[in-house]
Amino acid sequence: MKSYRLVSFSTLCICLLFLFISPFQDTSSASTDKYQNFKQLSQHESSASYKVTTKETKSPVLIFAPHGGGIEGGTSEIAQELGKQNALYLFESLKSKGSRDLHLTSTHFDEPTARKMVSKYDNVLSLHGYSENEKHIFVGGTDRERAKKLTQLLNQNGFPAELITKGHDEIAGINSGNIANKNRTGKSIQLEISQPLRSAMFHSFTSKGRASSKTQTFYKFTNVLSTFASTSY
């Protein structure tokens, strides 16, 4: 009897563990970041370990990717493609190892150039990545009307997307402290793209391989977003 009760308790613990592990378990938060702001990051990391790319245009929307390079793979390439027709801010880790160290959650992301750029634009479309077993996109942000429209558009084009609801604040992108919401109108859309979907956009999902190995999925996805940006703002 004791043995049976012990096994039952262990099984119960395992079940509870899985229940409380969110599908966003690898989505970073301030509590798991190595640094709590850009000042700390810049004091401990070489300036050669990261890169900031910007492009200012008269576009009403800023494409914003704060976790590019090796931090959330694939977001750099997506942002650069969208940046051909829109304003762009991109922060990338150039480290061969330990890129995760350069992750600053969006409510703590205060890189000076980013803050300055965001304040100049009415709308922000931010790109992020998260770990999941399926090809999926969570659509969040404060611009609920456009977020709903984009969710529908993605689904219509074969990209499983879900409009984020309350209760997932860590990836909802609705916090007023989120840098994407510090623009002129406070309106943003935040995309959380699963790793399997990002991987499908490249034949070689490595830092060096992604730039030259984009797939049809990549171009289809970025075309959907480009069309949305050009017709919705």
The 10s digit of each residue's pLDDT in 44-79 is 999 999 999 999 999 999 999 999 999 999 999 999
Q: Residue ranges per domain, the chain?
A: 38-232
User: Pairing state of beta strands 123-130 and 87-93?
Assistant: unpaired
Tell me what pLDDT residue 7 has: 39
Query: For the segment 3-52, what is each residue's pLDDT rounded down to a tens digit?
Result: 333 334 443 443 433 333 334 444 555 668 999 999 999 999 999 999 99
- Please report how many Cα atoms fall inside a 13 Å half-sphere around the Cα of residue 190, on the Cβ side: 28
Angle at the Cα of 192 (from 186 to 194), degrees rounded to 5? 175
Tell me the pTM: 0.87
Query: Which CATH superfamily is 38-232 part of?
Result: Poly-gamma-glutamate hydrolase, zinc-binding motif (3.40.630.100)
User: Does the pLDDT at position 104 exceed 50?
Assistant: yes
What is the token pair recorded at 136?
Answer: 């999926």
Tell me what pLDDT residue 152 has: 98
Average pLDDT in the chain: 89
Cβ atoms of 199 and 193 closer than 8 Å? no
For 176-188, what is the mean pLDDT?
Answer: 96
- CA distances to 7, 16, 182, 210, 230 from 62, in Å: 54, 41, 12, 23, 12
Tell me what pLDDT residue 171 has: 79
Query: For the segment 112-140, what is each residue's pLDDT rounded down to a tens digit?
Result: 999 999 999 999 999 999 999 999 999 99
Tell me what pLDDT residue 21 has: 35
Query: For the segment 133-169, what is each residue's pLDDT rounded down to a tens digit?
Result: 999 999 999 999 999 999 999 999 999 999 997 666 6
